[in-house]
Amino acid sequence: MLNRKASTKNCIKGLLSFMRPYRTKAIIALVMIVITQGAFALNPMVEGMITSQLTEDAIAILDQVPGAHVHFDVIFRIMMILMGLYLLKTVSQLITTFFLTDAIQGTMHDLRNALQKKIQRLPVRYFDDHPFGDLLSKVTNDVDALSNALQQALTRVFGGILTFIFVITMMLRINIWMSVIALLIIPFSLIITKFVVGHSQRLFEKQQATLGELNGTITEMYGGFNEIILYGKQEDAIKRFEDVNERMCNASFKAQFVSSLIAPLISLCTYLAIGGVAVLGCIFVIQGVITVGNLQAFIRYIWQINEPLSSISQLSGQVQSAFAGMGRIFGMLEEEEEVLENPNPIVLHDVKGMVKFEHVQFGYDEELLMHDVNIDVKPGQMVAIVGPTGAGKTTLMNLLLRFYDVKGGAIKIDGVDIRDMPRESLRSLFSLVLQDTWLFNGSVYDNIRYGRRDARKDEVIEAAKMANVHHFIRTLSQGYDTQLNEEANNISQGEKQLLTIARAILKDPQILILDEATSSVDTRLEKMLQEAMQRVMANRTSFVIAHRLSTIKNADLILVLQHGNIIEQGTHESLLAKKGFYEKLYHSQFANQESA
C-alpha cells in the first residue's frame, strides 16, 4: 500500500470544499484582483493622455500660437481620474491582501486540523506501512507549499494572466504593428526558458544529490561525536567535511548561475523589443498615426508584461510543488477510516477482567498469521506471553485493544464481544506500556499525569514512587517541572520506561499490558517493579510480554507462542515438566550462564 495520491480534479474539489467557509472573502478578493489589474492596465493610458495633452500644448507654445498655454483644467481633470485609479488600485489591492490572507490561512488551519483528526481515525494498520516522516511532511512541507503558493502565486499568476489580457488588448488598441513586435517577446521568452531550465534542471538535481551527501556526512559526524573526540579524529572529520562542502559549493554555484541566466536573457528580448517599438513608434508619431502619449503608454505596457513573464517562469516551480503537495494531502484524507462502531454499543460497568479469545483468526494481509487462538484468562490473573521474535506476541495485544479487528472468532471481556463496545470505553479499561516509550514535549509531571489528566500532584508523585523513578526525577534540573524534549539526552531508555510505567500506574486500569516494558531496565529494578506492580494490580488482570524468562516465572499463566499460534500454555513449573518448547527456551537462556 503506497501513498495514495488524489487526482488533480479531486484536489481542486477538495481544496474548494475546504475554502467554502471562507468563500465570501475569497470571491471578493478575486474580484478585487480583477479591479486592481484593470486599474493597473488603465494607468499608462491615462498617464499618456496627460502627456499627449501637454505635448499638444507644448507644440502650440513652441509654434507661438496666440494665447497658447497649458490647459490646466484638462490636465487637472485627467489627474483627478488618475488619482482615482491609483486609489482604486491601492485600496483593491489591500482588500485582496487582507481577505485572501484570511481565507487562505483559515483554510490552511482547517486543513491541518483535518489531517490531525484523520490521523486519529485511521486504523493502526495504516501506520505500519507509512513512514512517519512522510506523514509529517504532509502537515509541514505540503501544507506550507500550498499556503505559499496560494498566498503568492495565486495573486501573481491570476494577476499576471489578467495583465496579459488587459495589456495586450490595450496594445492592440494603440497600434497593431507595434503590438506584433512587442508580442514577439513571448515566444522568445518561452524558448529561452525551456533551454535554460533544461540545463539547470540537471544541475539542480546534482546539487540535490550533493546536498544529500552533505547531510549524510553531517549526520554521521555529529552522531559519532563520542568516537571522534575519543579517538582524536577531529582534524580528519573536518577534512572530510570540507571536501564534501567544497563540492556542495561548486554544485550550487553552477545551478544558481545557470538558472540566473533566464531573467537577463528575457530582459534582452524586452529591451530590443522596446528599442524596435520606440523607433517604429516615433516614426508613427511623426506620421501622425499615434500620439506621443500613446507611444509612452505602449512602452510602459511592454515593461508591464515583462514583469509577469519572468516571475511566472519562477513561480511555475512553486505551483508544481503545491500541486504535488495537494495530491498527497487529499490522497491521505481520502484513506479509509476505522470501521464504525456498533450502532447499539454495550457499555460495561464494574469490569472484572475476564478475557477470552475464542477461535481467533487474524493476519495483517490476506495470509492468516493466527489460525485458531483460544485463551481463557480469569479475573486477576497475570498472564505472560513468550515466544520468538515475530511469533505474534504484540499482535495479540493489538487485537485486544482493537487496533486491529479479528478476521474470525471473537475476543470477549466479561463475556461481551469487544466489537460490541464503544472503542473509547473498551480502551478505558487498559493501560498499555510499550517498549518504545512515548513521551511528549512537556514537563515530567505532565507526562505522568497523561495517564489520568485529573490526577492530583500527590497522586502523580505516588505513582512515580511506585515506578521507582521518583529519586531519578529529583536529580533532574527542575525536578517534576523538567521539560522533556526529543533530544532529552540525560534521560536513558530505562528511565523513560520507568516514566511510562508511572503513567500507566496512575491510570489505575482494569487490565494492564506490559509489552517488553522493562527491556531496558536492569534485572534487579525490574524485579522491584514487578513487586510494586503486583501490589497495584492485585485482583486485576495483567498481560506481560517479556523476552527475559527469569522475570515471568511467577505468572499465573504462561502462553508460548510460535508462528502465531499458542503451542503450549500453563504455569512455569507445569511447562518445565512438559519438557517442550518452553523448557528448551528457558534452558537456552540459562545454560549459557552456567558455563560462564
Q: Taking CB under 8 A as the criterion, which residues in 555-594 touch another protein?
A: 592-594
Check residue 292 for interaction with another protein (CB under 8 A).
yes
Nine-digit cell string for 204 = 539542480
Gap between the Cα atoms of 548 and 539, Å rounded: 24
Gap between the Cα atoms of 479 and 512, Å rounded: 27
CB of 8 to another protein, least distance (A): 26
- Smaller CB distance to another protein: residue 269 or 370? 269
Nearest to 130 by CA among 138, 258, 572: 138
Check residue 249 for interaction with another protein (CB under 8 A).
yes
3-state DSSP assignment of residue 485: coil
Check residue 430 for interaction with another protein (CB under 8 A).
yes
**H-type alpha helices, 477-580:** 493-507, 523-536, 572-578
Nearest to 418 by CA among 431, 403, 433: 403
Do residues 281 and 300 lie in contact, with contact meaning Cβ atoms separated by under 8 Å? Answer: no
Distances (CA, A) of 357 to 52, 340, 369, 397, 413: 93, 22, 15, 11, 9
3-state DSSP assignment of residue 359: strand
Choices 271-279, 326-334, 371-379, 383-391 (CB under 8 A): range interacting with another protein: 271-279
Choices 7-15, 48-56, 412-420, 559-567 (CB under 8 A): range interacting with another protein: 48-56
> Contact with another protein (CB under 8 A): which of 163, 296, 313, 395?
296
- Phi-psi map region of 143: left, alpha, beta (phi>0 left; psi -120 to 50 alpha): alpha
Gap between the Cα atoms of 531 and 534, Å rounded: 5
Sorted by sequence, the CB contacts under 8 Å of residue 136 that are 6+ apart come out as none
Check residue 441 for interaction with another protein (CB under 8 A).
yes
Residues 187-226 that bind another protein (CB under 8 A): 214-216, 218-226
The string of DSSP codes covering 18-29 is HHGGGHHHHHHH
Gap between the Cα atoms of 116 and 510, Å rounded: 29
> Contact with another protein (CB under 8 A): which of 374, 492, 534, 574?
492
CB of 428 to another protein, least distance (A): 5
Residues 502-541 that bind another protein (CB under 8 A): 507, 520-527
Choices 1-9, 11-19, 379-387, 471-479 (CB under 8 A): range interacting with another protein: 471-479
Do residues 373 and 565 lie in contact, with contact meaning Cβ atoms separated by under 8 Å? Answer: yes
Check residue 308 for interaction with another protein (CB under 8 A).
no
CB of 436 to another protein, least distance (A): 8
- Smaller CB distance to another protein: residue 474 or 563? 474
- Smaller CB distance to another protein: residue 373 or 506? 506
Residues 398-417 that bind another protein (CB under 8 A): 401, 403
Nine-digit cell string for 467 = 515506578
- Smaller CB distance to another protein: residue 10 or 404? 404
> Binding residues for another protein, how many (CB under 8 A)?
158
Check residue 132 for interaction with another protein (CB under 8 A).
yes
> Contact with another protein (CB under 8 A): which of 20, 127, 341, 390?
127
> Contact with another protein (CB under 8 A): which of 5, 199, 300, 371?
300
CB of 315 to another protein, least distance (A): 13
Residues 88-117 that bind another protein (CB under 8 A): 89-90, 93-94, 97-98, 101-102, 104-106, 108-109, 112-113, 115-117
Check residue 233 for interaction with another protein (CB under 8 A).
yes
- Smaller CB distance to another protein: residue 152 or 316? 152
Check residue 169 for interaction with another protein (CB under 8 A).
no
Check residue 184 for interaction with another protein (CB under 8 A).
no
Check residue 554 for interaction with another protein (CB under 8 A).
no
Q: Give the H/E segment covering residue 315.
A: helix 292-333
Choices 312-320, 369-377, 465-473, 556-564 (CB under 8 A): range interacting with another protein: 465-473
Check residue 66 for interaction with another protein (CB under 8 A).
no
Gap between the Cα atoms of 292 and 281, Å rounded: 9
Gap between the Cα atoms of 582 and 388, Å rounded: 11
How many helices (H) and strands (E) the chain has is answered by 22, 12
Check residue 475 for interaction with another protein (CB under 8 A).
yes
> Contact with another protein (CB under 8 A): which of 21, 165, 303, 342?
303
Check residue 396 for interaction with another protein (CB under 8 A).
no
Do residues 306 and 269 lie in contact, with contact meaning Cβ atoms separated by under 8 Å? Answer: no
Gap between the Cα atoms of 315 and 328, Å rounded: 20
**Matching residue, cell 506490559:** 514
Residues 135-154 that bind another protein (CB under 8 A): 135-136, 139-140, 147, 151
Check residue 312 for interaction with another protein (CB under 8 A).
no
Distances (CA, A) of 232 to 218, 221, 243, 416, 499: 17, 13, 19, 64, 37
